[in-house]
């Protein structure tokens, strides 16, 4: 039996994902039902057994582990000077937005996209500009004419890039990233690239760092790949000294530069767990194939088969996604993410979390079939 086939009871564990009735099956929020890598468990247990949890510092080993991982896995070399610790990708985004843009400024996002981006922009009194992705023949692509027009006409100050893209599971290629950089440099737009899903891909992906961008921030974290969201560990990589200094001040002002007692050891151990990631990606890829075929053939719906993240975006055609998801949960107990939460152009979709043991995946698929039959 695979490490990822093990079933764990997460009820009554203060899990946000599993805060539901016992006959329900949550397959919504991006939280895996797998244990993290054994090395990470050992590192956290060792720290816990010390019994002392005072203020933590960020040692050089924390950054060295990430530098080595990115060089070996993604053929990207980050300088130590470009890297800053932050308590989470969204915390980093919010802090950078407050420091590097002003109230009322326009921030561009590419919808459908991770719903929390909307909240961060609104909560910080900035304005949302949407560059809707083109959906054609079951695939998504960037509308670059609209992208440049929206930036030019609205005086956009920052764009948030999601790479790989959540919820569609797409890895942007180098040509697409270079065109984003070209347009953003033309209009002096800061690029913030959320690359939190970067290690969950069937093949390698291309980081924004592979481009010649001179004005970007990349945010990375082990939280998705190693199921460590509750550990609150992330890193910002800034492309120039101006941004590096600005972020240092921003993170200190916003009190997001202090680590908790476990995140350093957990992060270092995570980036020593390449075998875990290899096996995880193989398991998720098989889950994606199983779910894709089943949903298409048995449920008569249209899954968008991306090649990254552990999330599956499903097209409902003319059906209202909010109504569909509410009734699906009420009648079968299957809890999925409403597509409308990713932007208005996601209304006729829903998102399914595939990072669960195969027996639970099949349970969820059978519940979906019973509802659509």
Q: What is the CATH number of the domain that holds 94?
A: 3.40.640.10
Rounded to an integer, the average pLDDT of 71-96 is 97
Is the domain of 32 the same as that of 70?
no
User: pLDDT per residue over 7-41, tens digit each?
Assistant: 999 999 999 999 999 999 999 999 999 999 999 99
Instruction: Please give the mean pLDDT across all residues of the chain.
Output: 97
Residue 225: the pLDDT is: 98
Is the domain of 255 the same as that of 185?
yes
Residue 205: the pLDDT is: 94
Is the domain of 103 the same as that of 187?
yes
Rounded to an integer, the average pLDDT of 240-256 is 97
pLDDT at 291 over 90: yes
Is the domain of 67 the same as that of 207?
yes
Residue where a domain stops, chosen among 235, 255, 270: 270
Distance from chain centroid for Cα 235: 14
Residue 1: the pLDDT is: 82
Is the domain of 101 the same as that of 57?
yes
Residue 203: the pLDDT is: 83
Is the domain of 296 the same as that of 344?
yes
Rounded to an integer, the average pLDDT of 295-299 is 98
Rounded to whole angstroms, what are the CA distances from 255 to 39, 85, 92, 252, 267? 29, 11, 11, 5, 20
Residue where a domain stops, chosen among 270, 290, 312: 270
Is the domain of 144 the same as that of 248?
yes
pLDDT at 311 over 90: yes
Is the domain of 216 the same as that of 119?
yes
What residue numbers bound the domain in which 210 lies? 44-270
Rounded to whole angstroms, what are the CA distances from 332 to 23, 176, 271, 305? 9, 41, 39, 24
Rounded to an integer, the average pLDDT of 110-129 is 98
Among left, alpha and beta (phi > 0; psi -120 to 50; other), residue 82 is alpha
Is the domain of 134 the same as that of 252?
yes
Is the domain of 230 the same as that of 324?
no
Contact present, 142 and 165 (Cβ < 8 Å): no
Rounded to an integer, the average pLDDT of 185-211 is 96
User: CATH no. for residue 307?
Assistant: 3.90.1150.10
Residue 278: the pLDDT is: 97
Tokens read off for 164: 């790989």
Structural domain count of the chain: 2
Is the domain of 32 the same as that of 77?
no
pTM (whole model) above 0.95: yes
Residue 11: the pLDDT is: 95
Is the domain of 65 the same as that of 93?
yes
Residue 257: the pLDDT is: 97
Residue where a domain stops, chosen among 241, 270, 299: 270
Rounded to an integer, the average pLDDT of 97-105 is 98
User: pLDDT per residue over 199-246, tens digit each?
Assistant: 999 888 999 999 999 999 999 999 999 999 999 999 999 999 999 999
Rounded CA-CA distance 301/30 in Å is 22
pLDDT tier for residue 64 given thresholds of 50, 70 and 90: very high
């Amino acid at each position: 039996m695979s490490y990822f086939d093990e079933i764990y009871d997460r009820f009554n564990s203060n899990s946000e994902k599993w805060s539901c009735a016992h006959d329900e099956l949550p397959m919504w929020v991006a939280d895996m039902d797998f244990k993290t890598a054994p090395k990470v468990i050992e590192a956290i247990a060792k720290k816990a057994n010390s019994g002392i949890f005072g203020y933590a510092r960020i040692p050089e080993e924390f950054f060295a582990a990430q530098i080595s991982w990115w060089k070996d896995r993604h053929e990207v070399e980050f300088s130590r000077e470009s890297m800053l610790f932050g308590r989470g990708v969204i915390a980093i985004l919010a802090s950078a937005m407050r420091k590097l843009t002003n109230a009322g400024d326009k921030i561009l996002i590419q919808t459908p996209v991770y719903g929390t981006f909307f909240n961060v922009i609104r909560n910080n009194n900035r304005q949302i500009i949407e560059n809707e992705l083109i959906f054609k023949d079951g695939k998504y692509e960037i509308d670059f004419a609209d992208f440049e027009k929206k930036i030019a006409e609205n005086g956009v100050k920052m764009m948030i890039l999601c790479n790989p893209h959540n919820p569609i599971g797409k890895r942007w290629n180098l040509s697409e990233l270079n065109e984003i950089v070209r347009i953003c440099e033309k209009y002096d737009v800061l690029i913030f690239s959320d690359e939190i899903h970067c290690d969950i891909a069937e093949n390698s992906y291309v980081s924004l760092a592979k481009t010649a961008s001179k004005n970007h921030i990349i945010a990375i974290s082990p939280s998705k790949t190693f199921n460590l969201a509750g550990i609150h560990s992330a890193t910002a990589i800034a492309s120039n000294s101006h941004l590096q200094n600005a972020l240092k001040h921003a993170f200190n002002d916003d009190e997001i530069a202090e680590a908790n007692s476990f995140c350093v050891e957990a992060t270092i151990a995570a980036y020593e767990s390449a075998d875990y990631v290899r096996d995880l990606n193989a398991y998720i890829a098989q889950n994606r194939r199983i779910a894709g075929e089943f949903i298409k053939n048995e449920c008569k719906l249209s899954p968008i088969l991306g090649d990254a993240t552990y999330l599956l975006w499903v097209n409902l055609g003319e059906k209202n996604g909010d109504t569909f998801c509410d009734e699906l949960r009420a009648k079968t107990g299957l809890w999925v993410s409403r597509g409308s939460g990713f932007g208005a152009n996601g209304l006729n979709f829903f998102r399914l979390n595939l990072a669960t043991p195969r027996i639970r995946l099949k349970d969820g698929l059978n519940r979906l079939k019973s509802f659509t039959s």
